[in-house]
Amino acid sequence: MAYTWITKGLAASVLAVSLGGLPAAASADGTEPEIYTGPVTAIGNGQAHAFVVLDDDREPTAIGVNLSADALEGLPAHTTGHGPAWEYRLELPAEAAGTGYDHITVDWNPEGHIPPGVYDLPHFDFHFYLIDQQARDRITLEGDDLQRASRAPDPAFMPAGYVLPEGTAEPRMGAHAIDPGAPEFNDGVFTRTFIYGFHDGSMVFIEPMVTRDFLESRADVTMPVPVAERYQRPAYYPTQYRVGFDAASDAHVVVLEGLVRHGQIAGR
């Protein structure tokens, strides 16, 4: 699915959706999916905002980030001194309240991060958080929390094929589960990949990672993502993700798609 951005305001605006440049297929009653956007956050020389796509039954089908092309320019050239990434927080629109996601961060890593030789290229981490800021702040990796942060989930809650290596836990994030079958672990070069985050054995974020070079190439790819048998937190979990470019708005999009609800979510 391609997204044509016809902005009707910067916050919580309704946008038109297109498929391959043509109007999206309407439902039997003639209605079309709608996109709602959150407030704008400045990044580099540009800006970013979160969005959610709802179908005619008001069910979410996609949730993502719109990153203007000029946001790739004027970025910090070095790390923060407090970690590898510069964090930019995106608030979700009100219409995303029933998705199970609390907020999104765009983390710019100008010098990459561990492991060396794999993810040490300039790239963005797009964290879709299933927990709120207060819960994130309690992930300190200090005292007893270090053991909690490193605890692997029950196998039923781990997406197929993923593993949770030691030493991947980060404060205010959690531990990072990776796919050892990804190209970057098999003599390939990291361009984009998909991470699941855990704390105390429970999934707390979903994270596409994309290099700046890949975004600048303006490639458009949609990839399936492995899923778990079960999930602890009620939410709409993706079955694929897209990294693309929308020429009409001169913006990159990073999107969780094919959302499937797991568990009972308040208001749904």
Residue 85 banded pLDDT, cuts 50, 70, 90: confident
User: In this structure, is residue 8 part of a structural domain?
Assistant: no
Residue pLDDT, tens place only, 61-80: 999 999 999 999 999 988 86
CB-CB contact of 105 with 127 (8 Å): yes
Instruction: For residue 32, give the nearest of 53, 13, 62, 2 by alpha carbon.
Output: 53
Identify the DSSP state of 163: B
Q: How many domains does the chain have?
A: 1
Please state the pTM of the whole predicted model. 0.89
Tens of pLDDT, residue by residue over 21-46, are 223 344 445 567 799 999 999 999 99
Tell whether 3 is covered by a domain.
Answer: no
Q: Is 108 among the domain residues?
A: yes
Task: Look at residue 2 and tell me if it is in a domain.
Answer: no
At 108, which amino acid appears? W
Q: In what order do the strands lie in the sheet with 103-109?
A: 86-91, 103-109, 123-129, 202-211, 192-199, 175-177
Mean pLDDT of the chain: 88
Asked, for residue 4, whether it belongs to a domain, the answer is: no
Whether the Cβ atoms of residue 16 and residue 1 lie closer than 8 Å to each other: no
What is the radius of gyration, based on Cα positions, of the chain? 18
Question: Does residue 267 fall inside a structural domain?
Answer: no
Q: Is residue 6 a part of any domain in this protein?
A: no
Q: Look up residue 166 and give its two tokens.
A: 């030691």
| Cα Dmax for the chain | 57
Residues of the domain holding 157:
14-262
Any domain includes 197: yes
